[in-house]
């Protein structure tokens, strides 16, 4: 895959690996596939992966005496009950209560906070429009996600020390052997796979060296390099709705944002695919309630969109569930490719559409009536099922309920696929927060040196 012919393509966050394929999302080349999508999709259940998908998005630092107050004004979260050195998943809505951005943020000190993966510069935009009075700086960083049951052993092998004291959502400053001692890198126990996971973060220029060091340290553990082709499988299995992957940002329909000469050019525009009319943008947007994040909303402070979110909290309508697609109906889609006439929209493995697919929306009905919206279709090689996240009416969201997904693009041939509401998250492995680290052998020493 390549970008435009006129723009030079650069590889900033990872080494150039022979046999790997790369994709250009307008911010340089990123890994698309390295170890085969089946091996990559099994990695966080049976071993470990390293992924660089969030690298290249600038780290934003909000500092000064008004920084905490500003984050409180744009987030549904209570940002005052926040220990220094710990992370929060901040959810930032627009005035209508629709999610404009969600991002992991760490509190470094009383007056300093760093935000990661803010692919939509919503907090920068709101700082200007709200007159926040905060100091805001940006830094190019790498973010590497290392996840799976052997991820802790890989990182301990890399650093030659125990990491058992790094708790869930905590961070620790580390020094990487072989790297300049002045290069500050941090490790955090966080991830989106639904099971044991960590992140490494540091200056982007050192990304390729760090990525390769992790990959080498994980060689005896069978580490895989997870690319964008398979990335959304872990979010879907792990029960983590993701902006740009399973829904899109409401910033892209905010008139002030899209017409602002500084922020408008950042709007890449998601392809409006699926059986729901592309003109129905609302079907591609989500509220915190609709993605099961309503519990984060604390109505003890004023924030953008509070009235809309408070009203929805009093009368919630939908939530996100996992849908397991009927195997026979899925097979019919493949069979149609061999019949004369118009075939059904085919499936790409492991995701359809391929990432990023935040603009995809398939109609879900029950007894002929609309009851929900299904996001990107995901084939789970681990479970051998086609699954998807679906924002579904609460009255029909009980496990075991059968609904109908309208599969195909609007105006084209549509296949009605039966689907069953299943557990959410679908992944049935120990969560990161509750993972028993004592059950994991030390990775700090190689087997030959352990006594």
pLDDT score, position 446: 61
Residues 6+ apart with CB under 8 A from 436: 430
Class of domain 271-284+317-422: mainly beta
What residue segments make up the domains of the chain, in order of their start?
21-54+140-238, 59-125, 271-284+317-422
Range with the lowest mean pLDDT among 101-110, 346-355, 385-394, 442-451? 442-451
Question: 91 and 113 in contact (C-beta within 8 Å)?
Answer: no
CB 321 within 8 A of CB 424: yes
3-state helix, strand, coil in the chain (%, to 5): 25, 30, 45
Separation CA 273–CA 280 (nearest Å):
11
Q: What is the mean pLDDT of residues 63-86?
A: 96
DSSP 288: T
Q: Kindly state the average pLDDT of the residues 26-35.
A: 85
Residue pLDDT, tens place only, 221-235 = 999 999 999 999 999
Pairwise CA distance, residues 401 & 418, whole Å: 10
pLDDT of residue 119: 87
- Residue 62 near residue 115 (C-beta atoms within 8 A): yes
Kindly report the average pLDDT of the chain as a whole number: 92
DSSP secondary structure letter of residue 247: B
Which CATH number is correct for 59-125, 3.30.70.1400, 3.40.50.970, 1.10.3470.10, 3.40.120.10?
3.30.70.1400
Q: What is the pLDDT of residues 182-216, one digit of tens each?
A: 788 999 999 988 999 999 999 999 999 999 999 99
Is domain 21-54+140-238 given the CATH code 3.20.20.450 in the classification? no
User: How far is CA 50 from each of CA 27, 224, 310, rounded to the nearest angstrom?
Assistant: 20, 6, 39
Partnered with residue 59 across adjacent β-strands are 139
Tokens read off for 326? 């009927």
Q: What pLDDT is attached to residue 413?
A: 97
**pLDDT greater than 80 at residue 24:** yes
CA atoms lying within 13 Å on the CB side of residue 333: 23
356 close to 25: Cβ distance less than 8 angstroms: yes
The tokens for 140 are: 């190019």
| pTM recorded for the entire structure | 0.94
Max Cα distance, the chain (Å): 68
| Predicted local distance difference test score (pLDDT) of residue 451 | 42
Rounded Cα distance, 191 and 200, in Å: 11
Evaluate whether 21-54+140-238 and 59-125 have a shared fold. no
pLDDT digit string (tens) for 323-370?
999 999 999 999 999 999 999 999 999 999 998 889 999 999 999 999
Q: For residues 294 and 302, what is the distance between their CA atoms, to the nearest angstrom?
A: 16
């Amino acid at each position: 895959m390549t970008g435009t012919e006129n723009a030079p393509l650069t590889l900033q966050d990872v080494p150039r690996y022979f046999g790997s394929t790369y994709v250009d999302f307008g911010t340089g080349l990123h890994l698309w596939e390295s170890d085969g999508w089946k091996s990559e999709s099994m990695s966080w259940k049976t071993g470990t992966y390293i992924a660089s998908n969030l690298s290249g998005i600038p780290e934003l630092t909000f500092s000064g005496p008004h920084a905490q107050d500003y984050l409180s004004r744009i987030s549904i979260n209570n940002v005052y009950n926040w220990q220094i050195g710990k992370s929060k998943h901040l959810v930032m809505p627009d005035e209508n209560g629709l999610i404009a951005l969600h991002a992991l943020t760490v509190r470094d000190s009383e007056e300093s906070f760093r935000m990661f993966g803010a692919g939509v510069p919503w907090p920068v935009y709101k700082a200007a429009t709200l007159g926040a009075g905060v100091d805001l700086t940006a830094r190019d960083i790498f973010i590497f996600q290392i996840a799976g049951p052997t991820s802790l052993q890989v990182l301990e092998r890399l650093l030659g020390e125990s990491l058992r004291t790094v708790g869930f959502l905590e961070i620790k400053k580390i020094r990487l052997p072989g790297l300049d001692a002045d290069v500050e890198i941090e490790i955090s126990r966080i991830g989106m796979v639904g099971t044991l996971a960590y992140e490494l973060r540091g200056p982007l220029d050192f990304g390729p060296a760090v990525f390769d060091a992790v990959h080498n340290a994980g060689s005896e553990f069978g580490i895989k390099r997870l690319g964008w082709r398979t990335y959304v499988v872990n979010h879907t299995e792990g029960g983590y709705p993701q902006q740009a992957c399973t829904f899109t940002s409401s910033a892209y329909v905010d008139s002030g944002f899209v017409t602002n000469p500084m922020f408008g050019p950042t709007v890449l525009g998601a392809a409006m695919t699926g059986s729901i009319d592309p003109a129905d943008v609302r079907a591609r947007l989500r509220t915190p309630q609709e993605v099961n994040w309503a519990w984060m909303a604390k109505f003890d402070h004023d924030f953008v969109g509070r009235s809309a979110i408070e009203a929805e909290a009093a009368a919630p309508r939908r939530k996100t569930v996992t849908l397991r697609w009927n195997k026979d109906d899925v097979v019919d889609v493949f069979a149609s490719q061999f019949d004369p006439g118009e075939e059904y929209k085919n499936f790409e493995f492991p995701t359809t559409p391929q990432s990023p697919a935040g603009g995809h929306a398939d109609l879900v009905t029950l007894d002929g009536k609309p009851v929900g919206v299904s996001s990107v279709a995901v084939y789970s090689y681990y479970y051998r099922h086609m699954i998807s996240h679906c924002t579904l009416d609460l009255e029909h969201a009980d496990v075991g309920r059968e609904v109908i997904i309208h599969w195909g693009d609007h105006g084209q041939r549509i296949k009605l696929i039966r689907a069953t509401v299943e557990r959410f998250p679908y992944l049935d492995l120990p969560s990161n927060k509750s993972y028993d680290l004592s059950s994991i052998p030390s990775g700090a020493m190689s087997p030959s040196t352990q006594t």
